[in-house]
Structure 1
Amino acid sequence: MVSAALALAGCASSPTSAPAGTDHSSRYSITQDRAPSGNFDASGLSDAVPVYQKPVRAGNMSSYTVWGKQYSVMDSNDGYVARGTASWYGEKFHGHKTSNGETFDMYQMSAAHKSLRIPGYARVTNLDNGRTVIVRVNDRGPFHGDRLIDLSYAAAKKLGYQSRGTARVEVASITVKPDGSMFMAGQPFALDGQQTVQSAAGGAVAINDGQDANSGLFVQLGSFSSRDPAEKLQVRASSLLDNPVRVRSVDTASGRFHRVQVGPFQDEGSARKTQRLLDTKGFSQSIVLTDSH
């Protein structure tokens, strides 16, 4: 979708009327966005997998204007984290082009954002229930009110707010360096339960075994820029587990973050067993890592 078209994105973000002279009827086969028919099950849908990609120009004009309002695109997504309202978009835009030329698929984990560079990646957390998804940001929008991000219908359903239309969320960018190392909101980050530690050179290194003598092994459920959602997630996890669950506050170059962690564990096998249990309870984005006590 082009930027002007995305101004209408999302059944929850569609304005009641368009500016004079704006006509999108020829672009889409339906006028009002909606959810797909049937009972689509998003529970088993995998998150987007962040990968390194060289910077591209498509969809990344330094500034652009939609409906008379000017927006700026960030020079870099590094360290970005923000809270706000998420909406979603679906069937009306399914199969049409996104702002960087990709095809929008409402059944995939994708999103639209006004200022993040695209394509990019972000972890989106529903602050009301603690659920998280990782999405590929490949579109522009939403341009309605104070909305922060527009998720695909599938991503919104996985976060549990598709029927409400909107949700309070935290968006944390995930950036991937040419060497494959990942950072989320300025913190070292890894997928597939890999541990992440800081190398002597300051970069993020993923490891699969061993344990730092000065650290413990934890299952991390999430990391937040404010303490309130972290404590809510702690309470939710504590009600399901016999293991200790803590909120550890750490100061980074990007600010203070509050990590929700289960443990410590004596060995990786015990940590993985708890991680699998958590996955069955809806904590699908946990990671195993080493962290100081």
Structure 2
Amino acid sequence: MRPMPAVRVLGTLLLMGSLAGFLGACGSSSRGGGGASTAQRGSYKIGSPYKIDGVTYTPQEEFNRTETGVASWYGPGFHGKSTANGESYDQSERTAAHRTLQMPAIVRVTNLDNGMTTVVRINDRGPFARSRIIDLSRTAAQELDIVRNGTARVRIDQLPAESRAVRDVAISGGGPAEQNAAVAQVASGQRTAPAAAPVQMAAAPPPQAVVVPPQPAPQMVWQTTQQPPSMETPVAYDGRGGGVTVASLAAGAAPAPAPTSALAGSGFYVQTGAFSTMENAERQRGAVRSYGASEVSQASAGGRDVWRVRLGPYSTADAAGIVADRLKRSGYGDARVVSE
């Protein structure tokens, strides 16, 4: 047999070494390996105090929290996006957002209007609209029958044993799947959480469970945040951030054309910004259109025309507040409810 050339032998050895390395890598992947999957697993987080709309929230680790208030839900607009503790939001999972509880934590949510309950895992921050205490995933909201109405009066009861279990799993690097398994293990044994208190359902609950004070007339001051670089800075500001005032606009600027449309009728609206040109207002309108019916309307400030971007109208301030809250969580930090 003729001997194999040295170059061919060397090439064969290199190829075999590469295959061995590849097979070894396939057979030894660690839990959460890889940057993307690690980020989606999230982490245990309490967080520092933070301020939203002038209200300071102080997150803390708790295991026996009970509170009553209004629940809302969030879904398609946030599906797949990162939560406050770094997970990937899945609207089909039983999760929720809370303003101060550690992430993760486990709570039982009871709909006080129909007695239905569900258990959710806290993995996000919010809601920040008036009177709401928890923001549920779509699946959790369906189990409480609040998807259609958007909100419901609820009671939250934290489950101590389950909350400690998911904390320990998260600290050790376990993701949502491992945390859910830990909850199931606790639930199958001796539960130390308090039993759900009986719920007395009203025969005919009022159409509005939350009394909202009258909203002031809209002021000619607007501000938006997180605009694309090509968009014009919104006109005016409320003293908290760098917006250009109408008075500082060039005096010789040509008047802008009439708006494409104006909102008619009375009710509550969510205003996301105001601009000195209709083109920039239309640009933002397109960006927020997925949140509901959006329009551009004309107003006057400092003797000059401005174009407002608003969504609505909504029949109640609470309904408008749900939309404003979702906009804030998407980066429109100064979205606010106005009334006419």
How high is the TM-score relative to the length of structure 2?
Answer: 0.38
Larger strand proportion of the pair: 1
Larger helix proportion of the pair: 2
Structure (1 or 2) with the larger CA radius of gyration: 2
How high is the TM-score relative to the length of structure 1?
Answer: 0.44
